[in-house]
Amino acid sequence: MNRKPHALLPVVAVLALPALVLAQQATQPPWAGLGDVHLDVVPRTEAERERIAAVTALPTDFSAPWNFEENAGGAQTVRARGTADAFSQPAANLTFEQELDFRVGNGMFRRIWVSAPASTIASDGLGPLYNARSCQRCHLKDGRGHPPEGPDDTAVSMFLRVSIPAPDVEEIQRYIAGTHATAPDPTYGTQLQDFSLPGHAPEYRLQIDYEEIGVPLSGGEVAALRRPAYTAADLGYGPLHPDAMLSPRIAPQMIGMGLLEAIPSEDILAWADPDDADGDGISGTPQIVWSDVYDRPMLGRFGHKAGNPTVLEQTASAFAGDIGISNPIHTAGSGECTDAQTDCTAALDGADAEHGGFEIDQVGLDLVTFYSRTLAVPARRDVDAPEVLRGRQVFFDTGCASCHRPNYVTHRLEGDDPASFQLIWPYSDMLLHDMGPGLADNRREGRADGQEWRTAPLWGIGMTETVSGHTYFLHDGRARSLLEAVLWHAGEAQAARDTVVEMPPEDRAALIRFLESL
């Protein structure tokens, strides 16, 4: 779909198709020479570039807090609340009118969808197959999802992605060089739904079996990890394709997304080093994905493998895949149903002429997108505590910052965009990294192979238990603590992980204390 974006659509980095195709034919990386094509960006002057380089340079003094690091989200930062609503606050710099849009978007984010037809025509169209009945059901309190915690718990904030190798790889690679071309499973589509409307079978039941693993640590400590094995049990529509690749995903936290979107692509690409030319063992690769809105390749930013380029497209795909709600980007009234699921595709949907023939129209989609873009990042806590300062130095000395890049300055945007020209501290380079076989899902996505994942932003990670009531981390929630999450790192992070295992216990405790302050 190729159309002019709605006024609420954020400014994003667009990669030019002709340059990408030419780059595929050259020896340089496929993103070399690609510039931003933005809507309302004020170009940086040379003097401004120098100021930004100075303020984002990696500090060397660890004896005191760094300037502005307490305000992780720049001017969007809000006071860290000690309640479950800590991630649900509007950005601090919204105008009065923008806060009204935020509140309306929040209402739509929380809306419980029902099956069609219904008297509540603005809320009907659920399914027929779905993972949740609202955005809020997966992202409870805008926080992190979790795997089922027992036989009586559902997987409402977790599902399995599915794909197969694409039949025409060369055609797809003409547009995005180096992509691992995939296609939906012919029966089950791109993700498995474990709920359904009456009269329709759910697609599967998520079964997880864990194996406990002991990891000896320095000082006589032993950490316990759990290795998951996933089964798509009780398949409702016959077998999966023989080449089906499955990947478990929990819902990520929602804060700071608009700020991540406003990071200049050149600042992300500057850290890319796919061949490890500097010899540090870190070889970050940018994800490049196709944008259905802009009808061209773009830098991927959102999702565990950076499979979506914009918050708008992340939102639209979640409406279609998770809830079964049609929208101007994903137009099928039956959501994720495939042609093989004939009863599902033939079912009544909630498409409404007043909403442009969709179950949620462009205005509604933009409002939910705006809400998602402007959820505030809470302020750091205890930035001057001695153990936090020591843990920050351990973080840098260990090499964690090689992937978890501390800070950026966002684009200067025209108008009153709240993400404009902010010094932010997400602790992510937004690139793909090989995390080793232990975390591998063996499912390719775009330019990410089966062992690569986008570096997860760390801001707010220390408030997970406050907001979500648990401490499950990584893409599938297997880690039950921050230490377990660190110990699962391998591949490019193997050296850093081994350093954590071998360091004095007090340094390891300080490292975790620093992460808890983020």
Question: Would you list the domain boundaries of the chain?
Answer: 46-517
Q: Which residues of 188-221 are buried (b: 16+ CB within 10 A; e: fewer)?
A: bbbbbbbbbbeebebbbebebeeeeeeeebeeee
What percent of the chain lies above the pLDDT cut of 90? Answer: 79
Distance CA(76)–CA(65), nearest Å, equals 20
Cα-based angle 509, 514, 518 (whole degrees, multiple of 5): 145
What pLDDT sits at residue 14?
34
CB 15 within 8 A of CB 31: yes
Paired tokens of 136: 């809020």
What pLDDT sits at residue 474?
98
Please name the residue ranges forming H helices in 279-432: 311-318, 342-346, 362-373, 386-398
CB 511 within 8 A of CB 500: yes
Coil/strand/helix, residue 205: strand
Mean pLDDT, rounded, of the chain: 90
What pLDDT sits at residue 9?
35
CB 450 within 8 A of CB 443: yes
Report residues of the chain scoring pLDDT below 50.
Answer: 1-27, 32-39
Q: Give the other-Cβ count within 10 Å of 475's Cβ.
A: 21
Name which of 498, 475, 429, 488 is nearest 283 in CA terms: 429
The backbone region for 314, taken as left when phi is positive above 0, alpha when psi lies in -120 to 50, beta otherwise, is alpha
Distance CA(282)–CA(268), nearest Å, equals 15
Distance CA(109)–CA(365), nearest Å, equals 10
Query: Which contiguous run of DSSP H or E holds residue 109?
Result: helix 96-110
Integer-rounded Cα Rg, in Å, for the chain is: 22
What pLDDT sits at residue 78?
98
Residue with tokens 């076989």: 437
What pLDDT sits at residue 152?
79
What pLDDT sits at residue 40?
64
Q: 189 has which bridge partners?
A: 185
Q: Give the other-Cβ count within 10 Å of 224's Cβ.
A: 12
Residue with tokens 């608009």: 258
Name which of 129, 87, 480, 8 is nearest 252 in CA terms: 87
Coil/strand/helix, residue 478: coil
pTM of the predicted structure, to 2 decimals: 0.92
Q: 290 has which bridge partners?
A: 297
Coil/strand/helix, residue 237: coil
Residues in Cβ contact with 14 at an 8 Å cutoff, skipping those fewer than 6 apart = 36, 37, 38, 291, 294, 296, 298
What pLDDT sits at residue 213?
96
Distance CA(452)–CA(360), nearest Å, equals 34
